[in-house]
Structure 1
Amino acid sequence: MRIAIIGGHGQIALQLGRILSERGHAVQSVIRKPAQAGDIEAAGGEPLVLDLERSNAEDLAAALAGADAVVFAAGAGPGSGPERKYTVDRDGSVLLADAAVRAGIPRFLQISTMGAGKPAAGGDESWIAYIDAKTQAEDDLRARDLDWTILRPGRLTDEPATGQVQLADSVAAGSIPRADVAAVLAELLITGAGARRTLELISGTEGVDKAVSALRS
């Protein structure tokens, strides 16, 4: 399979790219800065320098031609203001979905966050905008004729992977290592499980392969 990861230099994206390439899949990672290319190559991916905030659906579709699936892993990141939450976290996902439709790419995985789907409970202006932007991005994707999966991980940590997760339509608040999120994304891509579902993910007691396989039963 050929998989394009948008926001390819993010921590989850780099680990996802490494997992997929080690399992024999071709990975194209879209990045904003040329200096990030070496990290992509070290993870086994092919870097593509493209700024989502300065691109259009036609150009992005041409760049991603031949992909079997796309992953939206981009984000404005900590320290960015409310405006970029919308231009990256929302508009970037909408742009990628438009491009996927144009390019005939059927599979779309979106990394969202637990808390999306309802107004933010507290937080500063940027946090409120982040949750709203993720919610709007989810709503846009659900309206598309794509084999989409929305994955909402809990609080992200940098702990080593445990390989043990809880994955369901709704789970209690919790945390999860980024490495385990990457492992679940890889399994969703490879198996095709979870299409047209919004899933929540935290650390748990079930192996990744078993948790993903259960989505197909």
Structure 2
Amino acid sequence: MTTLVIGANGQIGRQFCELAQQAGVPIKAMIRDAAQAPWFEQRGIATVVADLEGDFSPAFEGCDEVLFTAGSGPHTGADKTLLIDLYGAMRAVDLAAARGIGRFVMVSALRAEDPQAAPEKLRPYMAAKLAADVYLKASTVPWVILKPGRLTDEPATGRVAASLEETGGENTVSRANVAQALLHLVQARDLVGREFRLLDGERPIGEALA
């Protein structure tokens, strides 16, 4: 029961991997460059070198779940958004389907369902997330989608909200809380076909993502 973490070297990915390792959850961290491996090896986390823009099918060996938390990042252009956040995600879904992966956990974005409502510079990203979500839902792979709000670097509180109504319109969530929420979802293996919004709030993670 091993989870392949695509985007493991990202800010959320690293925090998730560390939490999973501490919790004894079997994972394999997919990294783009062997130079990224020491951070994971020092923590006893298995890695596989593979690139979302290349052939990353071997990374799926021995895995029965996928966590997709990869992102092109805020400093790249729309071309990388298409290749990573959209096409990379779609290819990962196709591989998961072909290999009979038991579940696919997708990190999307709050309000991705309405890209035109996002700030102009974020619209390509939101459109990519929307299309990837739709593609996953239409696939044969059991899925869960997590839609965090605007990300911050605040410390984890373990207290979250699942709607803007709960927060009075505040749309932020710490990356640390997202990582904790992902650990909860990965451990809740019978949870499928659900989409969750995630914001900083007052409810325990397990309650908000029930």
CA drift of 1:135 comes to: 0.7
Change (3 A) 1:198 1:210: closer
Amino acid at match of 2:138: A
| Paired residues of 2:81 and 2:125 also in contact (CA < 8 A) | yes
C-alpha contact 1:8 1:29 (8 A) present in aligned 2: yes
Aligned: 1:69 with 2:65? yes
Q: Which secondary structure does the structure 1 equivalent of 2:104 belong to?
A: strand
TM-score (norm. length: structure 1)? 0.89
Residues matched between the structures, number: 208
Q: Encode CA deviations 1:45-79: one digit per residue, 9 max, x unaligned.
A: 21211111122xxx51x431221211111111111
Report SS of the residue matched to 1:91: helix
**Distance in 2 separating the partners of 1:208 and 1:74:** 22
The whole-number CA distance in structure 1 between the counterparts of 2:183 and 2:18 is: 10
For 1:1-217, list aligned pairs within 5 A. Answer: 1-55=1-55, 60=57, 62-124=58-120, 126-167=121-162, 172-192=169-189, 194-212=191-209, 215=210
Distance in 1 (CA, whole Å) between partners of 2:127 and 2:31 is: 24
Structure 1 gaps, min length 5: none
Q: Decide whether the 8 Å contact of 2:173 with 2:199 is kept in 1.
A: yes
SS in 2 for 1:138: helix
Secondary structure in 2 matching 1:116? coil
Q: Secondary structure at the match of 1:17?
A: helix
Percent identity reads: 35
Distance change (3 Å), C-alpha of 1:169 and 1:186: farther
> Which has the higher mean CA deviation after the structures are superposed, 62-71 or 78-87?
62-71
Q: Which runs of 5+ in 2 are unaligned?
A: none
Change (3 A) 1:153 1:43: farther
Q: How much does 1:5 deviate?
A: 0.3
Residue 22 (structure 1) shift: 1.1
Check whether the contact 2:118–2:126 (CA below 8 A) recurs between aligned residues.
Answer: no
- Distance across 1 between alignment mates of 2:133 and 2:118: 21
Give the C-alpha shift of residue 119 in structure 1.
Answer: 2.5
Secondary structure at 1:160 match in 2: coil
Q: Which moved more, 1:8-17 or 1:33-42?
A: 33-42
Q: What TM-score does the superposition give when structure 2 sets the normalisation length?
A: 0.92
